[in-house]
Chains A and B, each alone.
Chain A
Amino acid sequence: MKTNNHRKSWIALLIALSMLIVLTLLDNWSGTPAMLLTVLRKGSIYALVVVSMNLLNGFTGLFSLGQAGFMLLGAYTYAVLTVPVEDQSAVYQRYATGGVGFSITETLSGAMGQFGLLIGVIFCLLLAGLVAGVFAWLIGLPVLKLKSDYLAIATLGFAEIIRAVVMYEKLGPVTNGSNLLYGFTNFSDFHIGGLKLDTVMPFIFSGLCILVVVLLINSTYGRVFKAIRDDEIAAEAMGINLAKHKRMSFIISSFFAGISGALLAMYQASVQANTFKASMTYEILLIVVIGGIGSISGSAIASFLFVGCSEWFLRFLDNDTKLKNFNAKLIFAIVFGLVVVGLAALIFRKTRKMERMEKLWRQIPVGLLCLGLVAWDIWFVISPNLKLPLLRSGFRMVVFSVVIMIVVLFFREGIMGDRELWDMKRRRPAANAKAGEPK
């Protein structure tokens, strides 16, 4: 048992190391598509915030929508503390006495070079998390007494208030009001010799944080969180202090949200309060649902998938596109038809499993929609038009919404359900809920 565990951790370590090497190579090879690097960087940062939200929503069963607010706190804490002193007058040009007058990373890197920079960044990241955590503690005192939807509304409100406060003119000398903060230490400041580390650093930071969350979830506290999610009354009757453990989960989740906010600031190389809107929280929630509520690896996979889709693969949906000739159109039409028929078949199978035979009429709308799309497909081939319809600015979001609806309606489990990647080989104990119920 023990040697087995040791071997597993060695394998995990090897995989992680080889991944880092590959990332470093990608970073420094001139042939790497810039988009791939963007997706890797942003995806890894999103993975952390999604995992932090999953810890709260998926593992503890607290429906909270304050993630963007905590990210904002983290991002600003980090940015304010690391803007170089000589840049502060330029950054805070609208305020006579702007800036804090020191820069932690600058001081440390001045004294110890790259190593000092690393120490400074880690220190500031932890501080960013702590600030978010302290705020979570304060907010949690009144708010965590609320249940489900009410908690969501209260935390959402908190996030909006924080955003407004940061943009408050009187706080300008510190937060720069609603203007950009920029110039602070970011990933491009890291390098070993001439080696760029832009993509490796976010992976290392967010990977370490996610590792801590995984360890936490598999510890006794993680099990208690899951018990609270499954049955609060039973948990309390078994001696679990609900208030304390809920608060704990809320603070930890916010702590990591704060760190990921700081990482996002580093990635963007600038911060503005307006980017941390409620829509950002929804985006994160969406990734949680797609990845599977209660699955860390699902969250990580979905983050990369989501960022990949929104930044890269689905970009073409926003551009007007003209096909070159009839052959291209034919290929497009065939692929489109196959995708439509395939999706419809998948949905049919899914509903057949879920529902009894007499409810099969429910499949009629899906069938009609499928037929309609195929008919349009055929008409498109016949028509002389070469311009692809619908593709225009904003269509990407429409496709996103439709995908979400399909996921929520038919694939509620998400990518991973509540399983983990490393449990896939093990057989899951039969979830036969019906067998245990009284007659």
Chain B
Amino acid sequence: MSKNILKVENATMQFGGVVAVDNLNLEINEGEIVSLIGPNGAGKTTAFNVITGVYAPTNGCVWFDEQKIIENHPQGKMKKLYKGQHAGEYTHVTAPTPDVVTKLGMARTFQNIRLWKSQTVFDNVLIAKHLRRTSNLLTATFRLNRKEEEAQRADVERLLDIVGLSEAKGELATSLPYGKQRRLEIARALATEPKLLLLDEPAAGMNPQETNELTEFIGQIRSKLGLTVFLIEHHMDLVMDISDRIYVLDFGKLIAHGTPAEIQSDQRVIDAYLGVAEDA
């Protein structure tokens, strides 16, 4: 059995009195492609934000690469407000900022594309390599880091080649068509040299052909680069095609998980998506 790369343990995210993610438990093994699905507002993106350090969970912890990276428990006025389970089980507070989590080897894309608008395609990817730099302010300013600079530039060329954007590298990121912007975001995430890639609705707004290309592309990311992929997606064709396992969220709660075939026949999932017949 390959080792566990991401483990979310009893994570609850509560905003005031609203529980966005309720006692989430999930595990992802190295080399897997795992999807997180669920109806709108189910708390999928919130779960992503908890994992990547954007929000500190109200309670629970996250393990990455067999290392506890995030842990929190209800504090202050949250103590009274807290509605979730496992209160009191966690005592430490470890709440890294997203940049720290990314440095550990977790990179993400965004649901609503967040490229650096005034930068070219090439620079967008190059900037994301900044965190792997060893040069400091002085060596970078006075160009004493030529070797590293060239190595990183070569690396960016290679990444752009993989995502098929080599020809557009001099263009402004925002001048690309939508599908290519998505690919650029993935290239940018890959530039941070992650072990785990988190994709937030990578196929949103894509036409069927682009979606097919993306399906193939995500498969290649695993086979060529040996990455683990965790994605949120609404396109069921894509999800069923590429996922090894699927987790289903509804109203913040995990309602099912299993292989695509299991999920397709799971009554709770069907109910969540189609609604329960009231007069049944």
The CA of A387 and the CA of B119, in the complex, are separated in Å by: 54
Q: Which residues of A contact B117 (CB under 8 A)?
A: 230-231, 433
- Interface: B97 (CB within 8 A): yes
Q: Which positions 101-135 of chain B face chain A at CB distance < 8 Å? A: 102-103, 107-108, 110, 113-120, 123, 126-128, 130-131, 133, 135
Interface size bracket, B side: 35 or more
> Binary interface profile of B, 196-224, with partner A (CB < 8 Å = 1, else 0)?
00000000110000000000000000000
Q: Which positions 156-172 of chain B face chain A at CB distance < 8 Å? A: 170-172
Is A435 a contact partner of B128 (Cβ separation < 8 A)? no
Q: How far is the CB of B178 from chain A (nearest CB, A)?
A: 6
Is B52 a contact partner of A429 (Cβ separation < 8 A)? no
Instruction: Evaluate whether A223 and B172 lie within 8 angstroms (CB atoms) in the complex, with A231-B114, A239-B102, A436-B178 already known.
Output: no
Is A230 a contact partner of B116 (Cβ separation < 8 A)? yes
Is A240 a contact partner of B99 (Cβ separation < 8 A)? yes
The CA of A218 and the CA of B174, in the complex, are separated in Å by: 21
Q: Which residues of A contact B189 (CB under 8 A)?
A: 238
Q: Which residues of A contact B173 (CB under 8 A)?
A: 436
Chain B residues near A (Cβ < 8 Å): 52, 54, 97-99, 102-103, 107-108, 110, 113-120, 123, 126-128, 130-131, 133, 135, 137, 140-143, 145, 149, 170-178, 181, 188-189, 191-192, 204-205
Instruction: Evaluate whether A239 and B137 lie within 8 angstroms (CB atoms) in the complex, with A231-B114, A234-B115 already known.
Output: no
Q: What residue in chain B is nearest A242 (Cβ atoms)? A: B99
Is B130 a contact partner of A430 (Cβ separation < 8 A)? no
Q: Which residues of B contact A294 (CB under 8 A)?
A: 118
The CA of A239 and the CA of B104, in the complex, are separated in Å by: 9
Q: How far is the CB of B147 from chain A (nearest CB, A)?
A: 13
Instruction: Evaluate whether A239 and B172 lie within 8 angstroms (CB atoms) in the complex, with A223-B127, A234-B115 already known.
Output: no
The CA of A294 and the CA of B119, in the complex, are separated in Å by: 13
Taking A216-B137, A239-B192, A431-B174 as known contacts, 11 extra A-B pairs with beta carbons closer than 8 A to each other, sorted by chain A number, are: A220-B149, A224-B130, A227-B119, A234-B114, A235-B127, A237-B102, A239-B103, A239-B130, A431-B172, A431-B175, A433-B175
Is B175 a contact partner of A436 (Cβ separation < 8 A)? yes
Q: How far is the CB of B203 from chain A (nearest CB, A)?
A: 12
Q: Which residues of A contact B120 (CB under 8 A)?
A: 429
Is B188 a contact partner of A230 (Cβ separation < 8 A)? no
Q: Which residues of A contact B137 (CB under 8 A)?
A: 216, 221, 248
The CA of A231 and the CA of B110, in the complex, are separated in Å by: 12
Is B99 a contact partner of A215 (Cβ separation < 8 A)? no
Is B140 a contact partner of A219 (Cβ separation < 8 A)? yes
Q: What residue in chain A is nearest B171 (Cβ atoms)? A: A429
Is B142 a contact partner of A237 (Cβ separation < 8 A)? no
The CA of A148 and the CA of B120, in the complex, are separated in Å by: 25
Q: Which residues of A contact B140 (CB under 8 A)?
A: 216, 219-221
Q: Which positions 386-439 of chain A face chain B at CB distance < 8 Å? A: 418, 429-433, 435-439
Q: Which residues of A contact B113 (CB under 8 A)?
A: 436
- Interface: A233 (CB within 8 A): yes
16 A-B pairs (CB sep. < 8 Å)? A215-B142, A221-B141, A224-B130, A235-B116, A235-B127, A238-B128, A238-B130, A248-B137, A294-B118, A430-B171, A432-B175, A433-B117, A433-B175, A436-B113, A436-B173, A436-B174
Q: Which positions 229-251 of chain A face chain B at CB distance < 8 Å? A: 229-231, 233-242, 248
Is B52 a contact partner of A239 (Cβ separation < 8 A)? no
- Interface: A41 (CB within 8 A): no
Is B116 a contact partner of A438 (Cβ separation < 8 A)? no
Q: How far is the CB of A237 from chain B (nearest CB, A)?
A: 5
The CA of A432 and the CA of B188, in the complex, are separated in Å by: 21
Count contacts on A: residues with CB < 8 A to the other chain.
36
- Interface: A226 (CB within 8 A): yes
Is A219 a contact partner of B141 (Cβ separation < 8 A)? yes
Q: How far is the CB of A391 from chain B (nearest CB, A)?
A: 43
Q: How far is the CB of B251 from chain A (nearest CB, A)?
A: 26
Please indicate which of the listed interface residues B115, B130, B149, B176 has the most CB atoms of chain A within 10 Å of its own CB: B130
* B127 CB contact (under 8 Å) in A216, A224, A233, A439: A224
Q: How far is the CB of B116 from chain A (nearest CB, A)?
A: 4
Q: How far is the CB of B105 from chain A (nearest CB, A)?
A: 10
Instruction: Evaluate whether A238 and B141 lie within 8 angstroms (CB atoms) in the complex, with A223-B119, A433-B117 already known.
Output: no
Is B99 a contact partner of A231 (Cβ separation < 8 A)? no
Instruction: Evaluate whether A237 and B174 lie within 8 angstroms (CB atoms) in the complex, with A219-B141, A220-B130, A439-B205 already known.
Output: no
- Interface: A212 (CB within 8 A): yes
The CA of A86 and the CA of B120, in the complex, are separated in Å by: 59
Instruction: Evaluate whether A237 and B130 lie within 8 angstroms (CB atoms) in the complex, with A231-B115, A429-B170, A436-B178 already known.
Output: no
The CA of A231 and the CA of B113, in the complex, are separated in Å by: 11
The CA of A235 and the CA of B118, in the complex, are separated in Å by: 13
Q: Which residues of A contact B175 (CB under 8 A)?
A: 429-433, 435-436
Instruction: Evaluate whether A436 and B177 lie within 8 angstroms (CB atoms) in the complex, with A237-B108, A239-B103 already known.
Output: yes
The CA of A418 and the CA of B116, in the complex, are separated in Å by: 15
The CA of A216 and the CA of B143, in the complex, are separated in Å by: 9
Q: Which positions 181-230 of chain A face chain B at CB distance < 8 Å? A: 212, 215-216, 219-221, 223-224, 226-227, 229-230
The CA of A248 and the CA of B137, in the complex, are separated in Å by: 9
Please indicate which of the listed interface residues A231, A294, A433 has the most CB atoms of chain B within 10 Å of its own CB: A231
Q: Which residues of A contact B205 (CB under 8 A)?
A: 438-439
Q: Which residues of B contact A224 (CB under 8 A)?
A: 127, 130
Q: Which residues of B contact A239 (CB under 8 A)?
A: 99, 102-103, 107, 128, 130-131, 192
Instruction: Evaluate whether A226 and B119 lie within 8 angstroms (CB atoms) in the complex, with A220-B133, A233-B114 already known.
Output: yes
The CA of A226 and the CA of B119, in the complex, are separated in Å by: 8
Is B172 a contact partner of A430 (Cβ separation < 8 A)? yes
Closest 6 CB pairs of A and B: A239-B131, A239-B102, A234-B114, A230-B116, A219-B140, A438-B205
Q: What residue in chain A is nearest B97 (Cβ atoms)? A: A236
Q: Which residues of A contact B191 (CB under 8 A)?
A: 238
Instruction: Evaluate whether A236 and B127 lie within 8 angstroms (CB atoms) in the complex, with A212-B141, A219-B143, A436-B178 already known.
Output: no
Please indicate which of the listed interface residues A220, A239, A241 has the most CB atoms of chain B within 10 Å of its own CB: A239
Instruction: Evaluate whether A230 and B181 lie within 8 angstroms (CB atoms) in the complex, with A238-B131, A429-B172 already known.
Output: no
The CA of A429 and the CA of B117, in the complex, are separated in Å by: 12
Q: What residue in chain B is nearest A230 (Cβ atoms)? A: B116
Is A238 a contact partner of B192 (Cβ separation < 8 A)? yes
Is B97 a contact partner of A433 (Cβ separation < 8 A)? no
